[in-house]
Amino acid sequence: MTIRKALSKALDPSARKEKGLSKTNTCIIILICLSIGIGIAETEVALTEGLENIYDAAHLILFALFAAEYAARLYSAPENTIHKTPISYALTLSSLLDLIVLLSFLLPLIGLETSLLRMIRAARLVRLAKMGSYSLALQMIYKAIKDRRYELTVSVIIALGLMLLSSTALYLAERSSQPEAFGSIPRAMWWSVATLTTVGYGDVVPMTILGRIAAALTALTGIGIIALPTGILAGAFSEGMRGFRSKSAETETQN
């Protein structure tokens, strides 16, 4: 086995016959999580005061490891029939994302440190999700969403329509008494979203009788409408699990 083929098997899940992630990709996921954890910890002064050198060293080590991974992915890319050359792989979304993350490690070293640049590293979770797309659970979630896309679309349209209707009702009822909160339909939408999602911040509340009646109807209706997509997905996921178990049982019986 050539070095390029060995790297491809270690880094590209589609190149493996075995199920699950390779040890290399498992280590990469751990490094991604560690990188994100360090980025989060850096926002707390109590966790960084006096430890700046340690954090800088951690950044350099992580940068070196991720740079080596990026180079290895470029080198081994031609082993995958989708990517004919390293350049074609370098132009893919996942590769560009990796490059952006690498730059986020270097920019703070030249005086461009910001909280935004720190959290760019969290974008590597997309890579984690891509690796995880080969897991059964995420495949089933994807299939559940795909199979119920029409029902989900209809439920989203109904929810948006209810939000617009309730915002309009509160605008008409409360615009005179509370112009700052309900002086326009877009302003009233903040209240509508908080009410329909049952969050209920309480920062804006209707004061008129008509406004309270409309708010009560919105709250009662929203409980069912907002919960509808959850029920659709739960049902599709349960069906997928039953189908998978049935196929597994048939396979075991045939073997």
Q: Alpha-carbon torsion 80, 82, 85, 87, what sign?
A: negative
Task: Check whether 140 has a pLDDT greater than 70.
Answer: yes
SS3 112: coil
Closest by CA to 121, choosing from 39, 29, 27, is 39
Confidence of residue 1 (pLDDT cuts 50, 70, 90): low
What pLDDT was estimated at residue 167?
94
The CATH fold of domain 3-132: Four Helix Bundle (Hemerythrin (Met), subunit A) (1.20.120)
Q: What is the DSSP letter of 198?
A: T
Closest by CA to 129, choosing from 85, 94, 99, 169, is 94
Task: Check whether 133 has a pLDDT greater than 60.
Answer: no
What pLDDT was estimated at residue 128?
60
Closest by CA to 124, choosing from 90, 87, 155, 99, is 99
The gap from C-alpha 236 to its chain's centroid, in whole angstroms, comes to: 20
Q: Which CATH class is domain 145-254?
A: mainly alpha
Task: Check whether 64 has a pLDDT greater than 70.
Answer: yes
Closest by CA to 163, choosing from 190, 123, 199, 136, is 190
Task: Check whether 113 has a pLDDT greater than 60.
Answer: no
What pLDDT was estimated at residue 169?
94
Confidence of residue 132 (pLDDT cuts 50, 70, 90): low
The structure tokens listed for 246 are 């049935």
The per-residue pLDDT for range 204-254, each reduced to its tens digit, is: 899 999 999 999 999 888 888 878 888 888 888 787 777 767 776 776 676
Give the residue extent of every domain in the chain. Answer: 3-132, 145-254
pTM for the full predicted model: 0.61
